[in-house]
């Protein structure tokens, strides 16, 4: 097996269970590496640190799957990790038939994402090394889930960066284009081939539940970057008199309308618009809302994008605060690891100063528990939300 030694000073982080080795941190290789092959990672003096796989063509060159010298990376280890992930989800008692089964590093399977939608599963391979275990993963999923079908999504970023060649589509059984799932007392139509991520934002389940505690019958509510209406539907379900759901994607809004009908609801106004422009127009007209949720896509794919992203968040917070009535609630989210909780608090503070509105934080929400984050790897905590009351 290929032997890799890391530069002095890197070993402490790896011994602390951080599973990435960057290309610039490699001191030596026992031979020229083959893309995706398994490696033994050692410190500069040769002591064992972990087993992983390597892709010398990318910045994150090695991802470690095992820190135990007695537990090398084998097909049996991959299957064991998938079974353990499933057992963990069963202990969570998620009030839905849809959940994330494998959350990459969060489940000690870097490069693998698997979501379950009722009797179907959707998977993504995001690294070349994990893609080499494709048949093992499929076999384990079939054994564990007994699904009617498994659909593979092509991760375009991974294909470009890692060099994976994937043809998107069903890889086991049959998977219909549209599936109906349930979460709490609402149903959602999922279009796997055309949906964002693997078909639905499962990570916001906790936030969708929390928003219910803020909505009172007769409220006026706004869901910005609504996608297929997860927050809007929950607001309406709790008796909001007026709900406006805004997104730039007409196909996503069309699914939202179907979700509204599917749940026997009515009265949501679905608006196709650029969210920044729409918020500015609401502000110009002096509109006020009782609950405003702003859940934008990732503005910061990397650390270099952070300054521009923060300017975007500042604009959203300024407009959001201006259109939230006194005593009302505003939520702002980031789904990028590079935009931290502290970043959100800082832009909220700056925005509140600019608009002369006093706010108090009433809650913080994160990705739900089926999207686990590892304490020793901050990168696994990506979704965070700050909820404030305008006082």
> 360, 329 in Cβ contact below 8 A?
no
Length of the chain: 391
pLDDT at 196: 66
Instruction: Dig out the tokens for 203 from the structure.
Output: 């990570």
> 332, 320 in Cβ contact below 8 A?
yes
pLDDT at 256: 96
Q: What is the 3-state secondary structure (H, E, C) of the chain?
A: CEEEEECCCCHHHHHCCCCEEEHHHEEEECCCCCCCCEEEEECCCCCEEEEEEECCCCCEEEEEEECCCCCCCCHHHHHHHHHHHHHHHHHHCCCECEEEEEEHHHHCCCCEEEEEECCEEEEEECCHHHHCCHHHHHHHHHHHHCCCEEEECCCHHHHHHHCCCCCCEEEEECCCCEEEEEECCEEEEEECCCCCCCCCCHHHHHHHHHHCCCCCCCCEEEEECCCCCHHHHHHHHCCCCEEEEEECCHHHHHHHHHHHHHCCCCCEEEEECCHHHHHHHHHHHCCCEEEEEECCCCCCCCHHHHHHHHHHHHHHHHHHHHHEEEEEEEEEEECCCCCCHHHHHHHHHHHHHHHCCCEEEEEEEECCCCCCCCCCCHHHCCCEEEEEEEC
d(CA 144, CA 134): 15
Contacts of 133 (CB under 8 A, 6+ apart): 75, 78
Name the residues annotated as catalytic: 335
Domains of the chain from N-terminus onward: 2-66 (2.30.130.10), 75-179 (3.30.750.80), 201-390 (3.40.50.150)
Instruction: Dig out the tokens for 202 from the structure.
Output: 């499962």
Nearest to 77 by CA among 52, 58, 95: 52
d(CA 348, CA 292): 14
d(CA 324, CA 314): 15
pLDDT at 97: 97
CA torsion through residues 188, 193, 198, 201, sign: negative
Note the pTM of the prediction, 2 decimals: 0.93
> 367, 207 in Cβ contact below 8 A?
no
- pLDDT by residue for the chain (391 residues), tens digit each? 999 999 999 999 999 999 999 999 999 999 999 999 999 999 999 999 999 999 999 999 999 999 999 999 999 999 999 999 999 999 999 999 999 999 999 999 999 999 999 999 999 999 999 999 999 999 999 999 999 999 999 888 888 889 898 789 999 999 998 999 999 999 999 988 877 667 789 999 999 999 999 999 999 999 999 999 999 999 999 999 999 999 999 999 999 999 999 999 999 999 999 999 999 999 999 999 999 999 998 887 788 889 899 999 999 999 999 999 999 999 999 999 899 999 999 999 999 999 999 999 999 999 999 999 999 998 899 999 999 999 9
d(CA 95, CA 105): 24
> 287, 324 in Cβ contact below 8 A?
no
């Amino acid at each position: 097996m290929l032997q890799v030694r890391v530069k002095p000073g890197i070993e402490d982080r790896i011994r602390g269970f951080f599973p990435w080795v960057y290309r610039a941190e490699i001191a030596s290789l026992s031979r020229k590496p083959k893309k995706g092959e398994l490696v033994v990672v050692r410190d500069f003096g040769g002591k064992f640190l972990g087993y992983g796989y390597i892709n010398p063509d990318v910045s994150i060159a090695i991802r470690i799957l095992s820190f135990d010298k007695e537990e090398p990376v084998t097909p049996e280890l991959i299957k064991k990790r998938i079974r353990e992930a499933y057992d963990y989800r069963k202990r969570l008692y998620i009030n839905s038939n849809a959940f994330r089964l494998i959350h990459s590093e969060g489940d000690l399977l870097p490069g693998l994402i698997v979501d379950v939608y009722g009797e179907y599963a959707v998977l993504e391979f995001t690294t070349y090394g994990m893609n080499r275990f494709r048949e093992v993963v499929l076999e384990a999923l079939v054994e564990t889930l007994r699904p009617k079908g498994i659909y593979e999504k092509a991760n375009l970023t991974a294909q470009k960066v890692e060099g994976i060649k994937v043809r998107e589509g069903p890889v086991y059984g049959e998977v219909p284009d549209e599936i109906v799932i349930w979460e709490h007392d609402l149903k959602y139509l999922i279009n796997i081939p055309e949906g964002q991520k693997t078909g639905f934002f499962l990570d916001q389940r906790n936030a969708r539940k929390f928003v219910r505690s803020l909505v009172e019958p007769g409220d006026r509510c706004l869901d910005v970057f609504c996608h297929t209406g997860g927050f809007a539907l929950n607001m309406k379900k709790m008796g909001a008199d007026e709900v406006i759901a805004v997104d730039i994607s007409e196909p996503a809004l069309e699914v939202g309308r179907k979700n509204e009908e599917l749940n026997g609801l009515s009265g949501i106004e679905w608006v196709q618009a650029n969210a920044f422009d729409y918020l500015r127009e609401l502000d110009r007209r002096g509109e006020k809302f009782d609950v405003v949720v702003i859940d934008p896509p990732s503005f910061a794919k990397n650390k270099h994008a952070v300054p521009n992203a923060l300017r975007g968040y500042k604009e959203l917070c300024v407009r959001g605060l201006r259109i939230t009535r006194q005593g009302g609630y505003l939520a702002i989210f980031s789904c990028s690891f590079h935009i931290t909780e502290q970043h959100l608090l800082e832009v909220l503070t700056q925005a509140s100063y600019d608009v002369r509105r006093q706010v108090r934080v009433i809650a913080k929400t994160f990705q739900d528990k089926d999207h686990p984050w590892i304490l020793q790897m901050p990168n696994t905590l990506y979704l965070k939300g700050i909820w404030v009351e305008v006082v």
